[in-house]
Each structure stands twice: as C-alpha cells, then as structure tokens.
Chain A
Amino acid sequence: MGSNSLTLAPAPRSAAAEEVRAEVREFLAAELAAGSFTTHVDTWLSGVDPAFSRKLGERGWLGMTWPRQYGGHERTAMERYAVTEELLAAGAPVAAHWIADRQSGPNLLRYGTEAQRAEILPRIAAGECYFVIGMSEPDSGSDLASIRTRATRNGDGDWVVNGAKVWTSNAHTSHYAITLVRTSPADPANRHAGLSQLLVDLSLPGITVNPIRILDGGHHFNEVVFGDVVIPGDMLLGEEGAGWHQVTAELAFERSGPERFLSTYPLIAEFARRASDPAQLAALGRISARLLALRQLSLRIAGALDRGELPDIPAALVKDVGTTFEADVIDEVRRVVDVPASLDSPDALGRALAEAQLHAPGYTLRGGTNEILRGIVARGLGLR
C-alpha cells in the first residue's frame, strides 16, 4: 500500500508559534483600525504594498527561519507558518515580498554563493527586496523541461541571455528573477539536463517587462523578454546544469503553505458575518471542516521542514486538495446566499465573491497544475 509516502507525522504543538500568532493578530488589528490596509481576496498575488512589507520586516516576520547572520531570526517553520497564516486570513497586502520570503530566500540559502547571500538575504528579511519566479515560458508550462530561454557564456565569463518568460507574477514590482535557463543544448535522452538557474537583476539593460492583465483587469503578471541581457558570471545560482534538481527542491516550500488554501479566506470571513439560517450555518461548517483538515496537513509539512525533511509529494497533495478547496468556497457560499457578485457591489460579500471568482482560474494553475500534482501523488502511490 503505497500511501505511506503521503503520510507525515502529526505536527507538534508549538507554544512559540501561538505566541507569535497573538502578536501578529494584534499588529493586524491595529493596522486595520488605522486604515493602513483593507482586506482583499488573494492578496498574496495582488496585494503589493512595499511599506507594509517593510513593517513586517521590522517586526522580524520575514526570513524568520534563516540564520541571524543573513538577517534571519532562527525561528521554527511552525512559527513562520503561524505568521503567514495570520497575514492571509486577514487578507493583508503581502504580495511584494511573498515569493522572496517563501521561496527565493531559502533557495539562496541552499544554493547561493556567500556573496549572494550576504548581499541579498538581509534585504529580503528587511522587506525591501522582492523576487519573482522565472520558470514558465510561452511554450513551456507544465512541460517545464522544454524551456527555450538560453544563456551562453561570453568571453568575459558572463552569461548572455535571450528568450522570454511569461506569467511572471509581480515582475514589474520586484528586483530579482530567479530564472530557469538552458545552458547547454537540449538532450532528448535526458530532458532535465542542461538547465541552470540565474539570479537576474531585473533592472539590467535588455530586459523588457510587459504587463499581462487578468480577468478583473488587474496587472499582476507579466511577460519578461530578454534580449542579449548580460548577466555577470557570478550570478549563477547553484550549479551549472543542476537547474532541474534545484527547481524541484524549491517546490516543497512553494506548494505546501497556507496560501494554498487561504487565498479565498477573506470571502469566508465575510460570509461568516452573514451566516445565520441553518443552510448557511451548515455551509460554513462544511467549509470549515475542509479548511481544518488542510491546516492539519499543511502544519504537518511545516513540522517535516523543521525536521529537515523534503516532503515534496505530500506538498503536491496539499496543493491539489487546497486549491480545489479555494475555488469550491465560492460555490458553497453562492449556493446559500442571495448576493450577486460584483466588484462594485455595495455589499462587502458581493465584492468578495467577485474578487474570488475573477481570480479563481489561477488557484489550480499557479505553482503547477492540479493534473500535474496528481501525477506526482500517483507516483507517491507507486503507480508510476
């Protein structure tokens, strides 16, 4: 019975996590009361607010698990989990730093050179330096190994990059892109060979960032075009040719967090203000039961990360179940309330429904589609 690779030990309860949770809650209540932000759905994609990110940095809530020498706070994954969860539940504007804190920082810690770490990590932890994921391309989505953006060495040992990335979330508001490039010609016998990651400063000449708008007109993702961009030779991240391995290792961080089931939490919170009749209370109960199970799964993964494990298969499972839930929330709520969804609705619930609905197609795509994730889970079941 192959389901063992999917099962993780129960998460230990953490008093330290509950303590920091209470602090974050207090901070958020004060910020909301002061009007420094308003709650929205899916703010880890759309809520870019550098001032807010810097406040989180000041309080030590970014780079939480990293070593102190790089501006980190040496706290546990469980403590970090509590912070991220509180921010998402409040619908706080966290998009500016989200990728840097969640994924790029840990990536640099693991594969970066000493110079890269010393230069960049403290700025991320301070909430001042933002990253994007440069993986997808116009012809390479699920089949990421087929990317065509190339980097070749010039006479000075620098990299010259040509190609284009798409769906690059917040490239227009970020400083660096960890970019997956082909550094040796495609090898049909080993599709995952010859890929590398480069640390690309987005202000370099030759980089063009073109907006791509999503359904509600919002500008979050972009096309990023590289035309003979010269990247200093020391901006290789990790090993040349090890790009695929490095990208895969990122995914446990990318896929397992509470952002994979709380994108639509602000809609649930708004619905709770309305729920009163038995059908509505039952709907709230059903939604809550699913959410509680997802929390337990996600907490177990945070616990596994604390133990130094790499729970990539359970992380794929959580993301599949979690993002399915994020969209289902909309349907559950719609069935039991009489509120039309509209961004212009005078009713906060109508606005939350509209935001959640217009963002919904993205939940089950970003970070790897649910079909691809199920393929990974099937491997965990021993079927592939």
Chain B
Amino acid sequence: MSDVDLVVETVRDILTGYEPFVLTAERPWDAGLWSALAEAGLTGVGVPEEAGGSGGELADAVAIVGALAAGAAAVPVAEQLLVAAPAVLAAGLDLPAPEEPLSIAVDGAVTAEPRDDGDGPGSWTLTGTATDVAWAGVARHLAVLASSPVGPVLALVDVAGRDTTHAANLAGEPRGSLVLQGVTSAGALLTDAQAERLRARYALARAVQLSAALQQVLAWTVQYAGERQQFGRPLGRFQAIQMELAEMAGEVTAVAALVDAAVQAVERDESPVLAAAAAKVRAGAAVEVVARLAHQVHGAIGFTQEHRLHHLTRRCWSWRDEAGTETAWARVLGAGLLADGPDALWPALTRVV
C-alpha cells in the first residue's frame, strides 16, 4: 500500500458511514468505525508485515490520520499509527495486534524499576500515575514513557481492568489518568534523544491532525459563505467576508506547507524535534485565527451542537494544547535553534526542515 490517494479514498469511504458525532461520557469513541478501519487493515499501516502490520510508508499513515482528523473521527489512530506503534517497534518490544487500540502516555510521574538486568527489552515494574492520557479507557494498550534510575523507559502496558480516571478535552475526547501501582510490564531503556524524539513525533501527530482539520474548516467555511444569503447575495460576495476567508486561507496554507515539510524531515530520518516543534507551534497559532473567523463567518448556526463546525473547532482548540503545549514547544524550538550559539540562528533555521 503506497498510493496515498487510494488510502485516503478508502478512509473516506469508510468514514461516510460514521458522521462526526457528539462525544459523551457514555459514548467516548467510535468503536464501530475503529472496527471497520481495523478490518480494512488501516490500523496497521506503516507497521511492517513481519511485525503484524499492513506495511506501507509513513506518508500513508499520515494521510490516514489526516483524513480521519478532517472527519472528526473519534478513534485513536493518530496515537497508534504515528506515535505508539513506531516507538514500540523502535524499542524492540512486541507490538500488540493492530486491531487493539494502542495509545501513548508521555506525561505524569511514572517510574520504572528493572526486574531483570535492564539491558535491552526486559521486564519493568511501573509505579505512579500517567496523566493526560489520550483515549484513556478506550485504548487497550498504552505505551508509557517512564523514568528510571538508568534513563527513560518505554513500557508497554495492557490496561484492561486498570484504574482509570475519566476526563475529556474541549472536544469531549477522553483524556484521563491511569494509576499504575507496581504493574509489571515489558519495557526498554531509551536514550534521552530517543525519548525526545518520541515526544516530538507525538507533537507532530497533533500537528498533522490540526493541519487536516484546519483545511476542512476552511473548506466548510468557504462553502458556507457561497451558500448562505444575506442582503440578497451570498456572504462570500461581501468584501469583509472575503478578507476573513483569505486570512484563514493564508494561515491554513502556511500550516500545511510546514507540516508537510516536517513529515518529510521525519521520513528522511532526520532528528525531527525542531521540525515537529515548529509544525506544532505554527499549527497551534493558526487555530486562533481560523477557529475565530470560521465561527464568525458561520454566524449563530456554527455555535450550535447541531452544526458540524464545532466537531473540528473544538478539537483544534484542544489539540494545540496537547502533546506539549504551544508555549512549551515554542521554548523548545527557541532554545534548540540557539544550540550552536545565537550567531548561528540563521544556519539553524535553514536546517530545520
């Protein structure tokens, strides 16, 4: 599977049966959609067949995540395809079957104690609480980034039956905490750079979602402005509205270009930290403008739960804060660009993507 357009078409076909819907505590995700995607092999894209996946490139996985994000699909595909599965594989751990949702936890104070010699993948005892876990209560497995006396550890936890506190982001997507008290799991020691790379890929995954969602919000808004009539003509005929849509288009186009470039940097296997940081910060900044103007152009109808607009704007408002806030990544980017000294800022900028 490598034809990106084909992949996107398949995802969209499947999505049509699962329109975006309002998430509630009782209905925190779209299990039916997940099953349909898993059946089509789409939850294992980017994972080699030897490891139980469907093969395909990072670009395919990115395209799937984008299409699902634009469809406001309530499934942990971004976490699984772009972050957790590659990290688990890179750490040399056994990947769970792709049909079982896998998410990632990078926040919170979880410590890992080696149960054996701690050399290579082994067995670890985890203690602490993983916070802000995406799809907590939904994901069957969790890749947990923990700290140990010998360095960062990536542990793979089967969360069935474990103690989860439920919370939600602004869009209603589950973002709970998971209490781990002396849980024994498979895990592997990472270098600090590997741990940093993992966090960066998580941020990039959110940037990919943001970019796709922002493009969709723009498309919806342009479409709406062409249909909605006031004063006897479509809204899009008013110059003030044209200015707002053009401003949105500027933001959306800038984000798309940078996110694409950051994904390509990861594909080239370059250290993606600064590229991902930049993509996440830029995408987050665009949310301010795009969400505000999209709601303005849609008028009161866009403010209602009946209208689709909120499925994406609420996610955008959340995603920009997740996997590291915009401010945190801005600091990482600023400091990282100065790593070779302030006079080397320009050369650093021309290397990021």
Using a CB–CB cutoff of 8 Å, the interface residues on chain A facing chain B are 1-3, 6-7, 10, 21, 25, 85, 89-90, 265, 268-269, 272-275, 278, 280-286, 288-297, 300, 314, 317, 320-321, 324, 371, 373-375, 377-378, 380-384
B222 touches A3 (CB 8 A): yes
A285 touches B277 (CB 8 A): yes
CB neighbours of B109 from chain A (8 A): none
Of the candidates A21, A288, A375, the one whose C-beta lies within 8 Å of that of B242 is A375
A3 touches B345 (CB 8 A): no
Residue of B nearest to A9 (CB): B260
The number of chain B residues touching the other chain, given as a range, is 35 or more
**Top 9 A-B pairs ranked by shortest CB distance?**
A285-B330, A374-B246, A281-B334, A285-B333, A284-B334, A285-B334, A378-B242, A1-B219, A377-B246
| 18 further contact pairs, Cβ within 8 A, besides A282-B334, A285-B331, A382-B226 | A3-B219, A7-B256, A10-B264, A272-B337, A272-B338, A280-B334, A281-B330, A282-B330, A285-B333, A288-B337, A288-B352, A289-B333, A293-B282, A371-B243, A377-B249, A378-B243, A378-B245, A383-B237
CB neighbours of B349 from chain A (8 A): 288, 291-292, 295
26 A-B contacts (beta carbon < 8 Å): A1-B218, A3-B218, A3-B222, A10-B260, A10-B264, A269-B343, A272-B337, A275-B334, A282-B330, A288-B278, A288-B337, A289-B279, A292-B278, A293-B257, A293-B282, A295-B350, A295-B353, A296-B254, A296-B258, A300-B257, A374-B242, A375-B242, A375-B243, A375-B246, A377-B246, A381-B249
* Cα A105 to Cα B249 with chains together (Å): 31
**Which of B218, B242, B347 has the most A CB atoms < 10 Å from its CB?**
B242
Chain A nearest Cβ from B216, distance in angstroms: 9
Residue of B nearest to A284 (CB): B334
CB neighbours of B229 from chain A (8 A): none
* Cα A332 to Cα B331 with chains together (Å): 14
Enumerate B33-89 residues with CB–CB distance to A below 8 Å.
Answer: none
A293 touches B222 (CB 8 A): no
Using a CB–CB cutoff of 8 Å, the interface residues on chain B facing chain A are 215, 218-219, 222-223, 225-226, 236-237, 239, 241-243, 245-247, 249-258, 260-261, 264, 277-279, 281-282, 285, 327, 329-335, 337-338, 342-343, 345-347, 349-350, 352-353
CB neighbours of B331 from chain A (8 A): 278, 281-282, 285
B257 touches A383 (CB 8 A): no
B254 touches A293 (CB 8 A): yes
Chain A nearest Cβ from B203, distance in angstroms: 12
Chain B nearest Cβ from A262, distance in angstroms: 10
A6 touches B338 (CB 8 A): no
